[in-house]
Amino acid sequence: DTAVSQTPKYLVTQMGNDKSIKCEQNLGHDTMYWYKQDSKKFLKIMFSYNNKELIINETVPNRFSPKSPDKAHLNLHINSLELGDSAVYFCASSYPRRGAADTQYFGPGTRLTVL
Amino acid sequence: SQQGEEDPQALSIQEGENATMNCSYKTSINNLQWYRQNSGRGLVHLILIRSNEREKHSGRLRVTLDTSKKSSSLLITASRAADTASYFCATDRVGSARQLTFGSGTQLTVLP
C-alpha cells in the first residue's frame, strides 16, 4: 500500500529514557514533517525536512533530534524523556510544487506515554 | 501562537442534518485546507481553497473563504454517522507555503 507509516504505534517508557520513532513514506514525496498533538488535540509542527535537509525547526527542546537518512525516511529521536513529552506524534509528507498548494499526507500516529 | 481557531469546539447533530464548522485565522494566507481526523488515526486531507477563491465544493462538502474577515467555513450536507470525527482547518502563510498551521479542531458527532 502507498502510505506514510510510523513505528511503533504505541510507546510507553520511563522518564529519562531515550527513544526513537520511525517514519517512512513511499509516496515519492520530497518533504517530510513531524507534528506533536497534545491531549487537547492541538497539532503543532516540530520539524520539516526537504530532500534530507532541515527547513523548519520550530521551538523544540534540543532533546528532540530528527534524522533523515534519505528522503523517504524521517526518524525522531528523543533523549531524556520528560512527562510533558507524552503526546501523539504524527509524521507527514508532501510534494510541494511551484505555484501549487502543499497537501500533506499523515501517518497513523505514535502515542507516546512517559511514566 | 495558534493561527487557526475553530468553532464550535464540539458539535452534535442527527444523521441527515447539515453540519457547519467555522475557522478564523490571523495572517495573510496562500491557501486554506480542511482535514479530518477519525479517533486514533492520522489526519486526512479533505479540500483546499486558494486565497483567490470564495467557494469550493467536493461531494457533500462545501467550503467558503472570506479573506477580508480571515475566516472559512466547512459545510457537510446530509451528514452520516461515518462523518463523526474531528475537523481541522490549516493555513499556510504567505512566504511559508510548506508550513501548515492547524486550528484547534471541531469534534463532530453525528448521531444515527
Q: Does B87 touch chain A (CB under 8 A)?
A: no
Q: Who's near B68: CB < 8 A, 6+ residues apart?
A: none
CB neighbourhood size of A32 (10 A): 29
Confidence of residue A50 (pLDDT cuts 50, 70, 90): confident
Best of B52, B86, B100 to substitute, by most chain A Cβ atoms within 10 angstroms, is B100
Percent of all residues in chain B with a pLDDT value above 90, rounded to a whole number: 75
Cell numbers that stand for A40 in this block: 487537547
| A&B contacts, CB < 8 Å | 62
Q: Please give, rounded to a whole number of angstroms, the shortest distance from the CA of B15 to a CA of chain A.
A: 25
List CB contacts (< 8 A) between A94 and chain B: 98
User: Could you tell me if A91 and A4 are in contact, meaning their C-beta atoms sit under 8 angstroms apart?
Assistant: yes
| Cα–Cα distance for residue pair A74/A8, rounded to 1 Å | 14
Confidence of residue B2 (pLDDT cuts 50, 70, 90): very low
How confident is the model over A3-18, as pLDDT tens digits? 999 999 999 999 999 9
Q: What pLDDT shows up at residue B83?
A: 98
List CB contacts (< 8 A) between B86 and chain A: 41
CB contact under 8 A, A105 and B48: no
Q: Is pLDDT of B23 > 50? A: yes
Q: Is pLDDT of B1 > 80? A: no
Instruction: Give the nearest chain A residue to B3 (CA atoms).
Output: A44
Q: Please give, rounded to a whole number of angstroms, the shortest distance from the CA of A87 to a CA of chain B.
A: 12
Percent of all residues in chain A with a pLDDT value above 70, rounded to a whole number: 93
Cell numbers that stand for A35 in this block: 507534528
